[in-house]
Amino acid sequence: MDYNVLMQKAIEVSKRAYIPYSDFPVGACVLTVNDKMYTGCNFENASLGLTICAERNAIGSAVADGEKCIKAIAIYSPKMDVCYPCGACRQVLHEFRSEKGIDVVLKDNDKLIVYKLEELLPGGFSL
């Protein structure tokens, strides 16, 4: 899979973010082990704790469609280079990782950088 495709989808969906409080749009695109792609953007709420991150939004769409195993995610914000996932999103990604883990694809200016989720969340919580 060309991760540029995932990133382009993340860029496009970031434009639909609902961000009246932070003005910080984020888009994400997950790729499942079945090679299906799902996008999500962040959306905020006046009760800020109810805000949903783009990554969890995309994962929720995949799960709602019956997918439970993710092999890659692209994350993008026009407000910063290298938009890392927050800690909560890292843990949720850990829950749905493939046997080979998850590639986390981030944009750094004009190039893509890829991390393994385990690099960003060593010792993620599992039952």
User: Packing angle between helix 54-64 and helix 87-95, nearest 10 degrees?
Assistant: 20
Give the H or E element holding residue 6: helix 3-14
Confidence category of residue 63, pLDDT binned at 50, 70, 90: very high
Question: What's domain 3-120's architecture?
Answer: 3-Layer(aba) Sandwich (3.40)
pLDDT at 1 over 90: no
Domain boundaries, the chain: 3-120
- Is 44 an annotated catalytic residue? no
pLDDT digits 0-9 by tens, 20-56: 999 999 999 999 999 999 999 999 999 999 999 999 9
Q: How far apart, in whole angstroms, are the C-alpha atoms of residue 48 and residue 30?
A: 24
Catalytic residue from among 44, 55, 95, 118: 55
**Between these two residues, 31 and 127, which has the higher pLDDT value?**
31
Q: Of all residues in the chain, what percent carry a pLDDT higher than 90?
A: 96
